[in-house]
Each structure stands twice: as structure tokens, then as C-alpha cells.
Amino acid sequence: MADYIRIHPENPQEKAIDQVVKILKNGGLIIYPSDTVYGLGCDITNIKAMEKLARIKGVKLEKSQFSIVCNDLSHLSQYTLPIDNSTFKILKRALPGPFTFVMNASRSLPIAYKGKKTVGIRVPDHAVPQMIVEKLGNPIASTSIYDEDEIVEYTTDPELIFEKWEKLVDAVIDSGYGDNIASTVVDMTDGVEVLREGKGDIEDYL
């Protein structure tokens, strides 16, 4: 059964974050809060955890499109091809924020991303995932947790999330109610193209 870990959304308790990081380092899966919806994530460097994440989502790992959650833009040069100044300025203005930016992938991505031409980069404006990534020492792979209800697209109550996911993951973080609008997905591989309208309006940052 998963651990149910309460963490303050603005002032995360270090001990609780350390508990989450330990779970991730041991190949565990976590459900965590963000500035949009609750997400499902694991350590991007742990291939077994990545395979488990893919299984839960019902996809083959090589066909998966898991975004990479960073705590700032310092990982860009490691995981994406070089970007021009105008693109970097947009990212710097928009992040941290409710966006997933699709970028051209570099060859130094972890093995689970091998062969991918593009990668989604996310820097949530939320202290909990930022601190988790910082203490883990590398980003986490992430995907949204959809609700099976046809009307409610995303579950916002962490207690209900725990009830549904407790046997599938290793930890559910409760940082209060989540949002029910996902991130805006923006393709930056050739200009600026919105692939999915979400919580953020990219026009505000162009």
C-alpha cells in the first residue's frame, strides 16, 4: 500500500520531502501536486520505474510521451538541443508556470527516452515538486492522472486519489486540493504552436 504523505504546499517539510526522494531513489512511483493537476511521476534515471510508469499508463515505454519535470531551466542544455535567445526569453518569462514546452531532444537524455526526437519540459510553479527535484538531483518523468469519470477530467481531492491509486503507486502526496485544468502544451521546435490549451496563456509571454 502507498504511503500517504501530507506536505505543506508553500513551506514543504524537509523530512517529508526526504521521504519522497528516498521512495523515488528506490524506484518508486509517486503522485504529487503541481500548479495544475496532480501528476504521476518517477525518477527519469531509473529504467525499471519508467517501465512501471508506462505499464500503468497502458503504453510501451518506447512510445510513451512522459514530460520531464525540472525545478528550473538549468537542465535545458542537458536534455534539449541548443535554443535561440528568443525561445529562451519566452521560457524564462513563462516558467515556473502552467506550461509544458515541447523541445527538440538532445542525445544525452536518459536511456528511457532513447530515440526520442522531442521532449516535453515542465517547471511547475509549486514548491513541492521543485524541492523534490532539487533534492533528488535530477528531474522526474511525469504524466497527468486522468479521472475515469466522463464529466470530471481530473480528480482534485488527494484523499480520493489515494483511494484509487494506493495499490498502484508507492506514495501519494497530499498538499491540498489540486486544480482541474492541465498545463498548456506549447511546441517550441519550430516557432510557437499551442498543441493543447490549458491553464496558461502563452500569448501573455510572447
Tell me the residue ranges of DSSP E strands in the chain. Answer: 3-6, 30-32, 39-43, 67-69, 99-104, 118-122, 140-144, 171-174, 184-187, 193-196
* Amino acid 75: pLDDT: 84
Residue 191 Ramachandran class (φ > 0 left, ψ -120 to 50 alpha, else beta): left
**% the chain with pLDDT above 70:** 98
C-alpha separations of 53 from 94, 104, 118, 145, 166 in Å: 28, 23, 19, 11, 14
39-61: pLDDT as tens digits: 999 999 999 999 999 999 999 99
Which domains occur in the chain, in start order? 3-205 (3.90.870.10)
1-28: pLDDT as tens digits: 999 999 999 999 999 999 999 999 999 9
Question: 3-class SS at 104?
Answer: strand
Phi, psi of 202 (to 5 degrees): -65, -25
137-165: pLDDT as tens digits: 999 999 988 777 666 778 899 999 999 99
- The pTM (predicted TM-score) of the whole model is 0.95
Question: 3-class SS at 47?
Answer: helix
pLDDT of 122 strictly over 70? yes
